[in-house]
Amino acid sequence: MLINGSKTNILISETVGKIRNKDTTPEDFRINLKRIGSYLAYEASEFLETEELSTETPLGTAYFNEIKNNIVIITILRAAVPMSEGVLEVLHRAKVGIISAARGKQLQDDGKDFRIDSMYSSIPILEDKNVIVVDPMIASGSTMIFTLQEIKNKKPLKIIVLCAIASQFGIERIQEEFPEVIIIVGAIDKELNEKGYIVPGLGDAGNRAFNT
């Protein structure tokens, strides 16, 4: 399942525009990436399990729905750190896991597949959990496919991917291999160049967030 630009609210569209701007400072880039994380977390809440609870008001008993505390946020280092902070502010009871996954050797000349190098991971128990994977960009999809394979082996209940900007190719590639995964994105760009970069995209999210 995919939620994309046709449903994206104006706040997400506006904030994605800010991180696209080549003149946005690293500080403002991180701030807006965090906001996108919060906005997309609200969209993701529609797909999470809830339970009915009650509370005592000064005048009686009121009932309300609460998201079940069975969520794990997986942050793909390093670019996803600010965005994950925004997700965690909304889903504040979630546990957090980390996967280091970065592009290695380009496996195809058209930039559509890469070897993924992973140096570190720290992931809580995922069995029967709702897992939210956070990464600002899905370009070729190689990094996300690697991450989803690692997660799926741990038998989660549901997987939701949150992404600020994705290429059409990357989304289709993920959907083909993991049709059950819910992908929620802020914007979709159609072009992926021969180096595997999204066009127009926003450049390298990690470099822009951390001024490197």
pLDDT band at residue 115, thresholds of 50, 70 and 90?
Answer: confident
Encode 165-184: b = buried (16+ Cβ within 10 Å), e = exposed: bbbebbbebbeeebeebbbb
Its domain, for residue 188, covers 2-48+67-192
Evaluate whether residue 95 is within a structural domain: yes
In the predicted model, what is the mean pLDDT of residues 21-32?
A: 97
Residue 135 lies in a domain: yes
Residue 26 domain-assigned (yes or no): yes
Do the domain assignments include residue 206?
no
pLDDT value for 158? 96
Model pLDDT, residue 2: 55
Band of the pLDDT at 7, cuts 50, 70, 90?
Answer: low
Whole-number Å distance between alpha carbons of 99 and 78 = 9
Q: What are the structure tokens assigned to 176, written together?
A: 């083909």
Residues in the chain: 212
More confident residue, 53 or 117: 53
Q: 8 pLDDT exceeds 70?
A: no
pLDDT digits (tens, 9 = 90+) for 132-154: 999 999 999 999 999 999 999 99
Interatomic CA distance for residues 178 and 148, integer angstroms: 8
| CATH (domain of 185) | 3.40.50.2020
3-state helix/strand/coil string of 146-191: HHHHHHHCCCCCEEEEEEEEEEHHHHHHHHHHCCCCEEEEEEEECE
In a domain, 93, yes or no: yes
Does residue 212 lie within any of the structural domains?
Answer: no
200 against 79, higher pLDDT: 200
Q: Quick check: is 125 in a domain? A: yes
Given a cut of 80, is residue 107 above it in pLDDT? no
Q: Is the pLDDT score of 76 beyond 50?
A: yes
- pLDDT over 80 at 109, yes or no: no
Crossing angle between the packed helical segments 168-177 and 142-152, to the nearest 10 degrees: 20
The total number of structural domains in the chain stands at: 1
3-class secondary structure, 206: helix
What's the token pair of residue 41?
């977390």
Beta strands in 11-152 (DSSP E): 50-57, 60-67, 71-77, 95-100, 102-106, 114-117, 121-122, 130-134, 137-138
Assess if residue 8 is contained within a domain: yes
pTM across the whole model: 0.92
196 in Cβ contact with 112 (< 8 Å)? yes
